Amino acid sequence: AHKILIKDVAKVYGTRQTVDALADVNLTIDDGEFVCIVGPSGCGKSTLLRMVANLHRPTAGSVEIVTERAQPWPTAMVFQDYGIFPWKTVEQNVAFGLRPRGVGRAETRQRVGRWLQQMGLTDFAKVYPASLSGGMRQRVSIARAMAVEPEVLLMDEPFAALDAQLRRVLQEELLAIWQKNARTVVFVTHSLDEAILLGDRVVVMSARPGRIIGEHHVPFPRPRT
């Protein structure tokens, strides 16, 4: 079990010219929740997500993941622009991140095989990302994130670059993964439609500075396995 604790967080970028990216952000996320953070461009969604990923530090306040498992930082992140390596094959991309986490070769092979299969990528294992469509590349990105077995999956506008039809397909695949794996997902989007469709909890932000202005719990949470 784990919990994400975001307490009184502020983020100021820059030194001479400063940007108040976030102010007074308080949020607690429980194990297994699917939380969508929604708001206009520039309201600090990415900043908040990057702090949960331990990529940015808050200027004030604290961001903490309390967990029982011994893991340096139990998150994995999926970005809008895929963030996969063009010089690595699909399977090398999915395996990336396992070695530094101390996962052995046999276990790596097993996890890569499992996630390639889950994401419909088995036939593309030896292929380079350049020859894949946007949707397939984003599947690689999700497979890579899930292969590290993170407690918290962080997603920053992962489907924003896809056309509407493909977006629906990937959204459904993501929900299936979440239900099957019961992982915590924190999903950033500027689309209220997407937030309501996916989240069992929707956190709404406004800009200048970025603040949480409201929260909505979806009345009929999806079943969990």
Which positions touch ligand ADP (CB under 6 A)?
13-14, 19, 21, 39, 41-47, 56, 210
Q: Which is nearer to ligand ADP, 42 or 61 (CB)?
A: 42
Q: How far apart are CA 95 and CA 110, in angstroms?
A: 10
Q: Could you tell me the smallest distance in angstroms from the CB atom of residue 214 to ligand ADP?
A: 16
The nearest distance, CB 36 to ligand ADP, in angstroms, is: 13
Place of tokens 């500075």: 209
Nearest approach in angstroms of CB 29 to ligand ADP is: 17
Separation between Cα atoms, residue 33 and residue 185, nearest integer Å: 6
Judged by beta carbon, residue 127 or residue 204, the one nearer ligand ADP is 204
In the complex with ligand ADP, the residue whose CB is nearer, 75 or 108, is 75
> In the 8-state DSSP scheme, what is residue 123?
G
Question: What is the DSSP-derived secondary structure letter of residue 95?
Answer: H
Choice between 47 and 93, CB closer to ligand ADP? 47
Q: Which is nearer to ligand ADP, 13 or 73 (CB)?
A: 13
Give the shortest CB-44-to-ligand ADP separation in angstroms.
Answer: 4
Calpha distance 86→72 (Å, rounded): 27
DSSP three-state, residue 93 = helix
Task: Give the nearest distance from C-beta 22 to ligand ADP in angstroms.
Answer: 7
Distance CA 58, CA 51 (A): 7
Tokens 């929900």 — which residue?
175
Is residue 121 within 8 A of residue 90, CB to CB? The reply is yes
> Which of residues 20 and 173 has its CB atom nearest to ligand ADP in the complex?
20
If you search the block for the tokens 């999903």, which residue do you land on? 187
CB of 122: closest distance to ligand ADP in angstroms?
A: 34
Query: Residue-wise over 39-59: b if at least 16 C-beta within 10 A, else e?
Result: beeebbbbbbbbbbbeebebe
DSSP string, 113-154: HHHHHHTT-GGGTTS-GGGS-HHHHHHHHHHHHHHT--SEEE
